[in-house]
A and B are shown apart, each in its own frame.
Chain A
Amino acid sequence: MKIRIKFTKTGRLRFIGHLDVMRYFQKLMRRAGVDIRYSEGFSPHQIMSFAQPLGLGDTSEGEYVDIDVLSTASSEEMIRRLNEAGKEEIRILKYVKIADETRRSNAMSNVAAADYRVYFRGGLPDSNMLAAFFAQENIPVSKKTKTKEEIVDIRPLIYDWGLEEEGLFLRLSAGSAANLKPDTVMEAWNAFSQKEGQAAEAGHSEGGTQSFPYHFHRLELYARREGQLIPLYALGEEIKEESAE
């Protein structure tokens, strides 16, 4: 049976890397007594696949891992057990059963978009300038690969944006097809605001000289179904007490 788990990564645990998160879950499965499926061989490993690694230092309330289990209790019970055995900084939010065919294209390859909130350590940027930035028809950024450097337009990969009280909301294309990281957007914004800002006030941007001016918080990951973006967990269904096996 395929299970999709949605979880958070917050607080001090934002400083552990992606591989550490994987190791964390492997141990969590054992502590919580999840009847997970193992591979064969001398060093059996759990069948587990994570969606979209998060950058070190970033936080999230929309992380996903898919697992294979042999049996399971209800969603409610499993969430309780996992949270009891786990840390509060990695909280399990959803535990749903997904159809086998959904799983075949696993959590990783399901991803089509991601929502982020960008916090500004040096205060919110000027909303007019921000609007001007997103109003551009093209936002070219240079992308380095191993062999060459090419210019790509990231504007079509920005699906939505909005300035909120706490920070900047971004909905970006994600996944294996066309992945846009929020860092890339903010680098482009930096370049834009510096250029504009210089013309306007000859001062420096809201990031100032800080080396880490932004904090990225992921809100949700989406899959695309019939043209619609739906949260990854919504592809599955809750396991009710009666139907637990």
Chain B
Amino acid sequence: MKELALSEEILLRVEKPARYIGGEINAVIKDPSQVDIRFAFCFPDVYEIGMSHLGIQILYDMFNRREDVWCERVYSPWPDLDRIMRDEHIPLYALESQDPIRDFDFLGITIQYEMCYTNILQVLDLSGIPLWAAERTERDTIVIGGGPCTYNPEPLAPFFDLFYIGEGETQYDALFDLYKEYKKGGKSREDFLLACASIPGIYVPSLYAPSYKEDGTLAAFTPIAEGVPAKVRKELVLSMDEAPYPDKPLVPLMQVTQDRVTLEIQRGCIRGCRFCQAGQIYRPVRERSLDFLKEQAIRMLESTGCEEITLSSLSSSDYSKLKELVYFLIDETHVRHVNISLPSLRIDAFSLDVMSKVQDIKKSSLTFAPEAGTQRLRDVINKGLTEEDILRGASEAFKGGWNKVKLYFMLGQPTETDEDVRGIAELAERIAEVYYEIPKEERHGKCQITSSTSFFVPKPFTPFQWAPMNTAEEFLRKAYLVKHTMRSQLNQKSLRYHYHEADVSMLEAALARGDRRLAPVIYRAYRKGCIFDAWDEYFSNEKWMEAFAEEGVDMDFYSVRERDLDELLPWDFIDCGVTKQFLKKEYERALQGIVTPNCREQCNGCGAAVFGGGVCFENKN
């Protein structure tokens, strides 16, 4: 048996040692002497979260199909092991080979949310890789970032050698081929990075320089070397059926957050909710074929032995063959004794029928995401869900035996008034009333309507990218207002309400729309001991505020400030297909409360048609 990087003594001292031993089912082992490129794929959070992520599974499989590449995985060591590794100078290692990351050619980090930024520094630091890209030398691992947060990579720019903008399936082969050439030809790291800038989708942050106006906004953002493109266009897969998808996904040996097989049915979303970044950056919608999905589902269930399968997409109800797929899966999973977990579907006769077949009605709840309390505000955010839809759906469900409803809302969206805020509680009340209108003998006890609010954070590449954000005080005032309004409802005993602290959202907002001047703040926060910011028990707002203050950076400038429509934004150099002009138009329509139809009802010329595929060309040939 291969030796483990950590001693038995350490493994027995830490919580959940299974996080650190590798050896998962379907993990790929290769002979390091037989490959040209060692790639460590990192999800900068704890193992259980990282192992539940589909993107890594896809690229892990794809990279390892190449004989000359060995792709392995690494996750953030939990604070208990983090401490030990620092004290005992144990370098961070990859799970498969248990070899130190710093001996790898590449460290690829998927950046899924802002609150993992300090964990990125943790991973670099524990690996012994210089945190600042500028300090790395020929021998150092090349650090490449990907994932949704790279649509504004600027706050992290000085820590990365490369960013991959868009979907990983398309350009990694070119990148690996180029790297091999560079390695063989004895060319320098600098040469390599410069050459990378010509690969579509690859952004080399060191080859661009920002300049700022007196008011602190961006004046210019320009390439500083010959041949480096001024704009980087996102990469995307056009034919989803031809893109690689793992036949044998990794199966962890310990319980992880999502212990199941995931079937990605489509990418992108036809509904342009105006607060939603995913809805814009993954445009246009591209579906996988029904046949592909049927075969893939069976292959993955057989190779993993998982007891559950789930569908992944931004809006499953919009998948054109959903009925066929779901009924096929219900039959298949039934004979295999496998559970099927359906992501929140739009509530209608079909989804209620399906849910009654696959879940225990008494235990399960219905989920609606109205996102705003009044129709006026739902029109502003372009959430095409009406009160009538909700009440009808709830009524049908209550008659079908359900009595629990979950509602998701956001506080602080543009133009929101107190009436909209109170509307959250009032909508919850009306749903409860629908329940109690049912004759008593047909009801199943009391109903339970649980509303949760999150705080709206404006994100790059959305129509709200210019919008102001509420202050933390404003958020909390609104949350109290919801709570108070709930208390004055007739059926208040059936209403529940959850919200969380606002501090994390403020920080998330600053990082989401930030620029390079935030890198020293992140660095300082990390040096103060911030890691696992996404975890309540580890998040320290105090340390972060100190970091901002000590770096002399005004957080409000990045978080709450309304941007001028003409301002040069830090992420404007990225071309995600959707044009700035379209986003502006959408912002204006939002402020006027005009809804925009979805891509299947009518194309709105967002710009994503340049990629030449997907929904934009459905029924057009």
Do A and B originate from a single complex?
yes
Instruction: Give me the interface of A with B, judged by CB distance under 8 Å.
Output: 10-13, 15-17, 19-20, 23-24, 26-31, 38, 41-44, 46, 56-57, 85, 87-89, 210-212, 215
- Shortest distance between the CB of B26 and any CB in chain A (Å): 10
Output the least CB separation between B336 and chain A (Å). 7
B95 to chain A, nearest CB (A): 10
CA distance A24 to B359 in the complex (A): 24
CB pair A12–B307 under 8 Å, yes or no, is no
Q: A38-B337, A44-B337 are in contact. Are A12 and B9 (CB under 8 A)?
A: no
Query: Are B13 and A211 in contact (CB-based, < 8 A)?
Result: yes
Min CB–CB distance B362 → chain A (angstroms): 10
10 contacts between A and B (CB under 8 A): A11-B1, A12-B23, A15-B11, A15-B18, A16-B18, A16-B254, A42-B339, A42-B358, A44-B337, A85-B305
Chain B residue, CB-CB nearest to A23? B255
| Contact (Cβ within 8 A) A56 B12 | yes
Residue among B1, B253, B301, B302 having the largest count of chain A Cβ atoms under 10 Å: B253
A30 touches B255 (CB 8 A): no
* CB-CB nearest in chain A for B357: A42
Separation of A41 and B259 alpha carbons in the complex (Å): 20
Once A27-B25, A42-B359 are accepted as A-B contacts, the answer to whether A17 and B18 lie under 8 Å apart by CB is: yes
Are B9 and A210 interface neighbours, CB within 8 A? Answer: yes
Alpha-carbon gap, A27 to B25, bound state (A) = 10
Are A57 and B12 interface neighbours, CB within 8 A? yes
B238 within 8 A of A: no
A89: which B residues are within 8 A, CB to CB? 1, 23
**B17, A29: Cβ atoms under 8 Å?**
no
* B332 CB to nearest A CB, Å: 13
Q: How far is the CA of A29 from the CA of B305 in the complex (A)?
A: 7
CB pair A20–B18 under 8 Å, yes or no, is yes
What's the least CB distance linking B15 to chain A, in Å? Answer: 11
Structural contact, A12 and B251, CB atoms closer than 8 A: no
Q: How far is the CA of A211 from the CA of B12 in the complex (A)?
A: 10
Q: In the bound complex, how far is the Cα of B303 from the Cα of A212, in angstroms? A: 38
- Complex contact B253–A31 (CB within 8 A): no
Nearest CB on A from B83, distance (A): 16
Q: Chain A's nearest CB lies how many Å from the CB of B51?
A: 13
Kindly name the residue among A16, A20, A89 whose own CB sees the greatest number of chain B CB atoms within 10 A.
Answer: A16
Residues of B within 8 A of A43 (CB): 339, 360
* Interface residue from A17, A28, A210 paired with B254 (Cβ < 8 Å): A17
A38-B337, A57-B11 known; A12 vs B305 contact (CB < 8 Å): no
Residues of A within 8 A of B81 (CB): none
Top 7 A-B pairs ranked by shortest CB distance? Answer: A27-B305, A30-B305, A31-B305, A15-B17, A11-B1, A12-B21, A44-B337
Q: What residues of chain A lie closer than 8 Å to B1, measured between beta carbons?
A: 10-12, 88-89
What are the residues of chain A within 8 A of B254 when measuring CB–CB?
16-17, 20
Given contacts A12-B4, A56-B17, A89-B1, whether A27 and B304 have CB atoms under 8 Å apart is yes
Contacts of B302 on A, CB cut-off 8 Å?
Answer: 30-31
Contact A13 B304 (CB under 8 A): no
Distance in angstroms between the alpha carbons of A56 and B11 in the assembled complex: 10
Q: How far is the CA of A44 from the CA of B18 in the complex (A)?
A: 27
CB of B128 within 8 Å of the partner chain: no
Q: Residue of A at shortest CB range from B302? A: A31
By CB atoms of chain A within 10 A, which of B302, B336, B337 has the most?
B337
| B564 in contact (CB, < 8 A) | no
- B40 to chain A minimum Cβ distance, whole angstroms, is 19
A20:B255 contact, CB within 8 angstroms: yes
Q: B209 within 8 Å of A by Cβ?
A: no
- Asked whether any CB of chain A lies closer than 8 Å to the CB of B22, the reply is yes
Pick the contact of A57 from B8, B251, B255, B306 — CB < 8 Å?
Answer: B8
Residues of A within 8 A of B4 (CB): 12
Chain A residues with Cβ below 8 Å from B13 are 211
Asked whether, in the complex, the Cβ of A20 is within 8 Å of the Cβ of B253, the reply is: yes
* Cβ–Cβ contact B360 & A16, under 8 A: no
Query: Whole-angstrom distance from the CB of B234 to the nearest CB of chain A?
Result: 37
**A87 vs B251: C-alpha distance when bound (angstroms):** 12
Minimum CB distance partner of A15 in chain B: B17
Tell me how far the C-beta of A29 lies from the nearest C-beta in chain B, rounded to whole angstroms. 7
Partner of A27, one of B12, B22, B306, B336: B306
The interface residues of chain B lying within 8 Å CB-to-CB of A38 are: 337
Instruction: Report the Cα distance A88→B306, complex, angstroms.
Output: 19
Contact partners of A212 in chain B: CB under 8 A: 8-9, 12
Chain A residues closer than 8 Å to B301, beta-carbon distance:
30
User: B residues within 8 A CB of A16?
Assistant: 18, 21, 253-254
CB neighbours (8 Å) of B25 from chain A are: 27, 31, 87
Q: How far is the CB of A122 from chain B (nearest CB, A)?
A: 12
List residues of chain A with CB within 8 A of the CB of B360.
41-43
How would residues 1 to 39 of chain B score, 1 for a CB under 8 Å from any chain A CB and 0 otherwise?
100100011011100011001110100000000000000
